[in-house]
Structure formats: structure tokens, C-alpha cells
Amino acid sequence: MENGIKYILEVYKLVFEDLDKFPGEYKIRIKDICEELLNPLRRVPESIKSELRKSLD
């Protein structure tokens, strides 16, 4: 699998170049009035619940 990733990165080098770079300096500003948002947990469907329990144990 690692060879496949290296191959794709080499073939499509121009697509993946400089993805993590912004020109100059950049600051992220967050408003002071922002509050954390907590979403309720999602229920596990009954059809996969037993399989999930096995994998977690």
C-alpha cells in the first residue's frame, strides 16, 4: 500500500505541492461570543451492535 501512495504522489506531484502553505502570515480569529457546541451521541444500529461490542472487547 505504501508503494501505491508513493506512486500516486510522484505521478501527481503538481496536484499535491504546496497544499499546506499560505503566502505570508495568517491568523485565525474566533469571535468572543462563540460557544462550544456539543452534539448528542449517535446510537449504534441494532444490526451491528453485537459486532461492535466484540471489536471493542
Q: Averaged over 1-21, what is the pLDDT?
A: 79
> Stretch 16-31: mean pLDDT, rounded?
76
Mean pLDDT of the chain: 83
pLDDT at position 1: 59
One-character DSSP codes across the chain: -HHHHHHHHHHTHHHHTTTT--SS-------TT-----PPPPPPPHHHHHHHHHHH-
Domain spans of the chain, in order of start: 1-30
Q: How far is CA 38 from CA 17, 31, 32, 34, in A?
A: 36, 18, 18, 13
**pTM strictly above 0.95:** no
Does the pLDDT value for residue 47 go beyond 80?
Answer: yes
Across 22-50, average pLDDT: 85
What's the grid cell of residue 47? 444490526
Model pLDDT, residue 31: 83
